[in-house]
Structure 1
Amino acid sequence: MAATNSQTESNSGSSIFGAGGKAPELRTVIKEDVASFEEALLPHLDAAHNLARWLLRNEQDAQDVVQEAYLRAFKSFSGFHGSNGRAWLLTIVRNTSYTLLKKNQAVDFTTFDEEIHVVADEFASPATILEHGEDAELI
């Protein structure tokens, strides 16, 4: 009974990470990931902002794109194994900018001009049209 009781206590600990002190280990890993992310990508913040502003021609959109790009980079940072964080980040900024431009692209449409598309005489009977056609041939 004692073994079952201690087993229940260890499984229902206050930590959501379970028994064995994994929460401090996880915090250490997260801190290391954040530190390495900051070290690799934060120095390129100005370059990312300049690229976004140049592509979008809008300061507010550039700030939004840089924020979104850094969020995407942070989410994917565990898969980054390259040595050039600047190139990787600027690629994300470029693609995020293109996505925003495509999403906000104005729809090109032609307005309907009624004066151009109005039938010459809406109430003309077929006989009247034939008469006008015969008159036009005579002239």
Structure 2
Amino acid sequence: MKRFEALFAPHMDAAYNLARWLTGNDAAARDVVQESALRAFRFLDRYTDDNPKAWLLTIVRNESYTWLKASAGQRWVAIGDELPEDDLALSHNQTPELLAIHSENAVLIQQALSALPPAFREVIVLKELEDMSYKDIALVVDIPLGTVMSRLARARAQLKLELLKLHDHE
């Protein structure tokens, strides 16, 4: 149990983040992370890598796609903008105007990201939100390194188009 906690506990936020973006559902993301943690614990004896985050996120990715297949036909929803409680207080350089602009931009980015196909969304989330290396993304998504780079470039281009569409509708 201590080995499991030492290896994977630091990566549970990343696991939830990936699951939430892939499933588009808070409750499903919690279920996916719980099932993924259980699988990681159950198969801990098979873990031989030196990259626990990539190993765990691979499980989370697979569990997320399993959930998506099982719930096919359900409409995907955008993810709400939630701030941790300690971020709610205004700092000296956060005026209400700046916070409103930031909040509006965050909502637009979330809507645009939610509109991307899961294969594009996952590489954006892993690279930009989880700050994973291309090599680690290749491990998680189980694609060649070159495919990661090209998929990420295409995902960024599509994200830009989605943002432009949303901006034009304002």
TM-score, normalised by the number of residues in structure 2? 0.43
Residue of structure 1 equivalent to 2:46:
79
Residue of structure 2 equivalent to 1:70:
37
SS in 2 for 1:40: helix
With a CA cutoff of 8 Å and minimum separation of 6, indicate the structure with the bigger relative contact order: 2
Unaligned runs of 5+ in 1: 1-33, 108-139
Unaligned runs of 5+ in 2: 75-170
Identical aligned residues as a percent: 53
Q: Distance in 2 between the 1:104 and 1:54 partners?
A: 15
Letter in 2 for 1:49: Y
Letter in 2 for 1:38: E
Letter in 2 for 1:102: K
| Cα shift at 1:66 | 0.2
Q: Distance in 1 between the 2:69 and 2:46 partners?
A: 27
Of the three residues 18, 35, 43, the one matched with 2:2 is 35
Q: Is 1:95 the counterpart of 2:95 in the alignment?
A: no
RMSD between aligned alpha carbons? Answer: 1.1
Structure 1 residue runs of 4 or more that deviate by more than 4 Å after TM superposition: none
Post-superposition CA distance 1:70-101 (Å, at most 9, x none): 00000000110110000000000000000010
Letter in 2 for 1:45: M
